[in-house]
């Protein structure tokens, strides 16, 4: 039975509500999923409840965006305590940063002649107010600024890291993201290492406390998958995987469950979370 440990809901930039995502996963007969929304845990309670009702395992998760030099490191966290005050304080700051950043990207688009309505942009946002590049891009599509054949080209022109309207995330270092996950009793995992495509940077993150690598990912070539699997084995990291399903169509093309890690990942993550919690209880908190 397939497992998907990387899926988004409309608590961040996915199309479906957490309950709909879990329902779709159950309908596909998946064994377990994790909703790993960007920078928020607002969808977790609903997802867990839906999982219990529908008889599918739901692992609490998050994906935190951190900026490293000219790339981004996305830190996944599994088995996090999503009621943790510290984690909620952090996610609140991240969302506030995202709203300010969204507004700045909106203003930059305006400078380049792309006149959107802020009300339209935020209409697609969650009650918490999560704004990402996807929200702005979908507003551009709705306003007729994106010829269908040029979807990717237009996205990259404005929203790639060196794009015209791109604004950096609120600054959180990968180290802070890793610690935040561990503080919340979760297992930090580096998302889509192939998108980073920089072994030096990955070794640094391993040194900073990453416990897993997302080996199975739709955009990874067979060579990359083998490379990261070997790296995970060499460093004793958990090899996780998922589709990064957003439900908007297009995405990365993989249907939920289409990039499944082996089943033993579930026990490995559970044991790693127990280890994180044991250590946390032994060490006096630094804060």
Point out which residues bind Mn ion (CB under 5 A). 13, 63, 74, 191, 244
Work out whether strand 32-35 and strand 3-7 pair parallel, antiparallel, or are unpaired.
parallel
Does 150 bind ligand AMP (CB under 6 A)? Our answer is no
Q: What tokens were used for 194?
A: 């192939």
Minimum separation from the CB atom of position 132 to Mn ion (A): 6
Instruction: Tell me how many residues contact ligand AMP (CB under 6 A).
Output: 10
Task: Pick from 34, 40, 44, 65 the residue near ligand AMP by CB under 6 A.
Answer: 65
User: Which of 38/182 has CB closer to ligand AMP?
Assistant: 38
DSSP symbol at 261: P
Does 152 bind ligand AMP (CB under 6 A)? Our answer is yes
Residues 235-264 that bind ligand AMP (CB under 6 A): 246
Residue 276 to residues 55, 117, 121, 208, 209, Cα–Cα distance (Å): 27, 45, 39, 14, 11
Contact partner, 137, from ligand AMP, Mn ion, none, Cβ < 5-8 Å per class: ligand AMP
Minimum separation from the CB atom of position 244 to ligand AMP (A): 7
User: Which of 38/79 has CB closer to ligand AMP?
Assistant: 38
Return d(Cα 196, Cα 73) in angstroms, integer: 7
Q: Binding mask 185-204 vs ligand AMP (x if CB under 6 A, - otherwise)?
A: --------------------
Contact partner, 74, from ligand AMP, Mn ion, none, Cβ < 5-8 Å per class: Mn ion
User: Which of 192/208 has CB closer to ligand AMP?
Assistant: 192
Cβ pair 66, 176 in contact under 8 A: yes
User: Which of 134/212 has CB closer to ligand AMP?
Assistant: 134
Work out whether strand 71-78 and strand 238-241 pair parallel, antiparallel, or are unpaired.
unpaired
Return d(Cα 140, Cα 144) in angstroms, integer: 6
Return d(Cα 5, Cα 19) in angstroms, integer: 16
Minimum separation from the CB atom of position 11 to ligand AMP (A): 13
Nearest residue to the partner Mn ion, using Cβ? 74
Q: Binding mask 104-143 vs ligand AMP (x if CB under 6 A, - otherwise)?
A: ----------------------------xxx--x------
Using DSSP's 3-state secondary structure scheme, residue 100 falls into helix
Residues 19-38 that bind ligand AMP (CB under 6 A): 38
What residue has token string 């604004």?
Answer: 167
User: Which of 20/251 has CB closer to ligand AMP?
Assistant: 251
In sequence order, the β-bridge partners of residue 78 are 61, 187
Using DSSP's 3-state secondary structure scheme, residue 124 falls into coil
Question: What is the chain's length?
Answer: 287
For the chain, state the CA radius of gyration. Answer: 18
Cβ pair 257, 4 in contact under 8 A: yes
Q: Which residues of this protein are in contact with ligand AMP, per CB under 6 A?
A: 13, 38, 65, 132-134, 137, 152, 155, 246
């Amino acid at each position: 039975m397939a497992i998907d440990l990387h899926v988004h809901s409309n608590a961040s930039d996915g199309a479906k509500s957490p309950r709909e995502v879990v329902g779709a996963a159950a309908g596909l007969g998946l064994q377990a999923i994790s909703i790993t929304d960007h920078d928020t845990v607002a969808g977790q309670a609903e997802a867990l409840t839906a999982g219990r009702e529908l008889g599918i395992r739901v692992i609490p998760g998050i994906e935190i965006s951190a900026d490293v030099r000219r790339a981004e490191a996305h830190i996944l966290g599994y088995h996090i305590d999503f009621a943790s005050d510290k984690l909620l304080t952090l996610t609140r700051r991240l969302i506030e940063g995202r709203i300010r950043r969204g507004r700045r990207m909106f203003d930059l688009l305006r400078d380049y002649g792309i006149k959107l309505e802020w009300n339209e942009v935020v209409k697609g946002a969650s009650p918490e107010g999560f704004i990402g590049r996807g929200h702005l891009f979908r507003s551009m599509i709705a306003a007729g600024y994106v010829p269908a054949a040029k979807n990717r080209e237009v996205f990259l022109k404005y929203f790639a890291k060196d794009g015209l309207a791109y604004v950096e995330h609120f600054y959180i270092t990968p180290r802070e993201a890793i610690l935040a996950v561990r503080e919340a009793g979760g297992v930090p995992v580096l998302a889509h290492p192939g998108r980073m495509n920089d072994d030096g940077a990955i070794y640094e993150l391993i040194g900073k406390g990453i416990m897993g690598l997302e080996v199975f990912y739709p955009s990874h070539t067979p060579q990359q998958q083998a490379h990261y699997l070997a790296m995970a084995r060499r460093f004793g990291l958990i090899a996780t995987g998922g589709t990064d399903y957003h439900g908007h169509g297009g995405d990365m093309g993989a249907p939920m469950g289409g990039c499944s890690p082996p089943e033993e990942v579930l026990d490995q993550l559970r044991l790693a979370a127990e280890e994180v919690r044991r250590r946390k209880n032994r060490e006096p908190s630094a804060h």
